[in-house]
Chain A
Amino acid sequence: MIPLEHIVVLSVFLLSVGIYGVLTQRNAIRFLISIELILNAANINLIAFNKYLSTPDGLGQVFALLVVGVAAAASVVGLVLIIAIYRLKKSVFTDDFNLLKW
């Protein structure tokens, strides 16, 4: 069996890629893609620890399921917001979203 820390390192790598995407992308849709990567990194950790540490019930799997639900809700609302702002500003780039500024 592979050591647990290798799975954790994989998840940390996925998290850093997501952070990089959130910090540098101009396009709001790619922003949401990066957020999905971060949430999946958290899920990999939950599943791996659930497998390797003997929890009596499937606590890690239950919470991974809940994270999937929250991620679905978040990306649905985010994409609808992007489409609504696109109708208003004709753009999906975050530099153009300055409606609440000035």
Chain B
Amino acid sequence: MEQEFTITAFSENSIGLLNRITIIFTRRHINIESLTVSQSSIKGVHKFTIVVSATLEKIEKVVKQIEKLVEVLKAFYHTNDELIRQEIALYKVPTEALLNSNEIENIVRKNGARILEVTPDFTVIEKTGYKNETQELFELLEKVSGTLQFTRSGYVAITKNKHELLTQYLKEIDSIKYSTN
């Protein structure tokens, strides 16, 4: 059965690695639903958060193939209930709509969003949450004022484990001497 998984991979920071990782999905005809890459909490280690829908069996194989890449330190996969994950969305609405009634202000407050910037022409609103929540706010704003622009990030996720899974692993391999060239 296909379900949504979040794959997190930790790697060295090297050119082209993203390409090597996405090739693994492309080969198996798996569509990447969202992807974020940034430096992790560990210095010099980058973190990929990849959301895909596939069967567990396929995911297990894919994760091993990711981990096999020379520059990947470790890769994990999680079902949604093992993670806390959020995405961020930015909305641009006409400032005029904000001034004409307090409807937008109410929407912002009720949805736990916040106003980032107000200019005479437009106002930027920010919301973090699950995808359905950011989508809901988008639809509300569309209805009330129309949006000038809307954008959302992919998911970032954190496990429900107490510690970063990688930290333990790095301790293990640091106990063996490795050169890092």
Question: Do they bind each other?
Answer: no
Task: Report which A residues bind B (CB closer than 8 A).
Answer: none
Task: Report which B residues bind A (CB closer than 8 A).
Answer: none
